[in-house]
Structure 1
Amino acid sequence: MPDDGASVPSDWADIAFDGRSIRIEHQWLRPERAQRPLVVFLHEGLGSVSMWRDFPQRFCEAGDFRGLVFSRYGYGRSTPRPHDEKWGVDFMHRQAREALPALFDALDIGLGRSRGKPWLFGHSDGGSIALIHAASFPDAVDGITVLAPHILVEDVSVRSIEAARQAYLETDLRSRLARYHDDVDSAFWGWNDIWLDPAFRQWNLHALLPQLRCPVLAVQGEDDEYGTMAQIEGIHRYAAQTALLKLARCGHSPHRDQPASLTQDAVRFITAHTSYLK
């Protein structure tokens, strides 16, 4: 696991989700750049604010953007998932359609509140949540960048997630992840149990993707252990405005494996497609 490179202090927002109040850890980056595009970073299935390290800060500096990084419910310093709560097959849809809009409301983000609409920058599960949100609320975002997103469940994904379960039970993975989450078991089992549930094998975004209207940059590493190029090529098939970025010598985390190439292409894409900068 990478070292914790977060240096910006976290704040908390209270949102209503699933019939109760949830505390969401978040950090604002470069808030003084109020006239520049806002990029909202959505982490991976085991991620959090601190797991991003300093990539969001460096990315926002490179593009002269503002940024927002947050830990979803069950992750980081946000409210943990109760251990007896099992997430359903629709857990990413609920994050995209319920939790994310609630957070935007709490932080006064959105059309008519701050200049322009936000960009979503999602990794893995966070990329899928970005796709669902943009397709469900086509007027809510200016565009999205998705790294190693999931639009269907592949055999390679299941094999790698099974391997992660064994590593969590048999190696020091649990102790390493514990640095990034207040309740590491809540974070790990919430993610792992639903991805390995047989009912989840039928999950996909095929019916939703044609509803995408915004610009999309879809990024995949050639050596991604959790998915193949079918993921981003499928997005392009359903949403022709999607630009594809395929990175050599890159696994499941392009922002760690190829940060310079990713930053260069993604900054250029966001700058070129931000509506009020044209």
Structure 2
Amino acid sequence: MSVTLKNLVSYCNDYLSVDRFKDYCPNGLQVEGKRNVSKIVSGVTASQALIDAAIEACADLLLVHHGYFWKGEAEPLTGIKGNRIRTLMKNDISLLAYHLPLDAHPVVGNNAQLAEIIGMQIEDGMDQGNPFSVGNVGSISQPMSAQAFSDLVSTKLSRQAELVLGDDRSVQRIAWCTGSAERMIERADQLGADLFISGEISEPVVHYAREAGIHYLSAGHHATERYGAKALGEHLSNAFGIEHQFIDIDNPA
């Protein structure tokens, strides 16, 4: 089975509502390869290691969360970026990348997938009432200590999360946004969350958590965003009857 690249890209753009987002990079097709797609390899970031793995897996298309052409980066196709794109084009592999639309999607999105894996019930977006909110607020069924919740997340994500204690409150109401969104802790605090989860940690966020009394959990940029591209790839496999393989290139960040 195969699907045309044109139809696959059009379907993804509609499914992820890409026109509703102002993003830091172009969403959708970034490198054009074969006209027909029989096999997708998905992963988090279009690194050289993932491209090489996709070639080894005989992929027609590489689907990622972190692609290329970010605002502020150098435009010439030289060095590492030039080598990556040259490798894709020499092997006729398309690159399909979705950033914020893949964070926000209510089913296959990174935030929705993280909620499912940890066992959090989504109640609303952090931008409340906005169906395209990047970040969610919700709860777990039973309250637990911040340390117990941190241990749970570490187990589920197979990565040691870093906990900053705000106060001695137990955890039930939670806000989260995957990747590099630690500064959204202030919005989480406004929403009455006991704890906020994101991927990375920064010096000011530690002080905010301690002074505001809200726990902060840094669970890893890569670790929190491993699931969106995989879920989207599985969705496309089912929708079009094509092959899909998720390849995880480990990253401690």
The normalised TM-score by structure 1 is 0.27
More strand, by proportion: 2
Higher relative contact order (CA 8 A, sep 6+): 2
The normalised TM-score by structure 2 is 0.28
